[in-house]
Amino acid sequence: MIYSVLSGILFACIAGAGYFAVYYHAEPVCNEALLSSETAEVKTIDEGWFFDGEGTENALIFYPGGKVEAEAYAPLMKRIAEKGTDCFLVKMPLNMAVFGWKKAETIMNEYKYDSWYLAGHSLGGSAAALYASKYPEQIEGLIMLAAYPTKKIDDNIAYLSIYGSEDGCLEKDVYESDRQYWPEDAEEHVIENGNHAGFGSYGKQKGDGDALISSAEQQTETAEQIIELIEHQQ
């Protein structure tokens, strides 16, 4: 009996290790995005990376998608930082934001800004939304990239939902039903010809639709929408 139980536990551990060992890797373009530029200094920190742009008042904390290497979102973070909002790209345990959904708290305690924004892609968005639902007083806004909340988001939080028209991974029926959790003045933006994986730079994702624009184009449009939301809150 004990042998059977131990065997079951061992099998579960091996299966789990195998599951998390397979993930989407950042493309080479991300290496360049992790280098400092004239308008954004990139620093490695305990929680991941700090994209320190010219802005001093607002900052955005980003949670990566599930089983996606965090570095894959460096190009998007660099674009946002260069437009005036500092960004923190969080590296998650086992590349799963659900295991580190409270990491935003550590960053907020260490760095001082007038306003904090939380964002995430796919499963990372759900983890960000969980934090926002638990601690609404800590953030000014929540940005969801191909993601949806599962708990009510406070009406005082600025909310922006973005997804690509060719997204083949987003569960649209759940997305629609979970609008009930959105704040009253939530905003939505559809990136025409964009897909699910285009918010990051990690290649084709299983089950995703074919994008008719490049990842760079999708990320540029995403950055513009995020900056617009933040500027409207000033």
Cα separation of 88 and 4, whole Å?
45
Percent of the chain having pLDDT more than 70? 91
Helices assigned H by DSSP within 136-177:
172-177
User: Which residues are CB-contacts of 221 (< 8 A; sequence separation ≥ 6)?
Assistant: 191, 194
Q: What is the mean pLDDT of residues 223-228?
A: 99
Q: What is the pLDDT of residue 17?
A: 54
| Tens-digit pLDDT profile for residues 82-117 | 999 999 999 999 999 999 999 999 999 999 999 999
- Reduced to 3 states (helix: H, G, I; strand: E, B; else coil), residue 87 is strand
Label the pairing between strands 41-45 and 48-52: antiparallel
Cα separation of 91 and 82, whole Å?
21
Domain residue extents for the chain:
26-232
| Tens-digit pLDDT profile for residues 141-161 | 999 999 999 999 999 999 999
Q: What is the pLDDT of residue 10?
A: 37
Cα separation of 234 and 2, whole Å?
62
First-residue to last-residue Cα distance in the chain: 64
Cα separation of 168 and 150, whole Å?
20
Q: What is the pLDDT of residue 234?
A: 79
Q: What is the pLDDT of residue 18?
A: 66
Q: What is the pLDDT of residue 6?
A: 36
Percent of the chain having pLDDT more than 90? 90
Q: How confident is the prediction for the chain on average, in pLDDT?
A: 94
| Tens-digit pLDDT profile for residues 3-56 | 453 344 334 434 445 666 799 999 999 999 999 999 999 999 999 999 999 999
DSSP 8-state class, residue 99: G
CATH fold of 26-232:
Rossmann fold (3.40.50)
Burial (Cβ within 10 Å: 0-12, 13-18, ≥19) of residue 229: buried
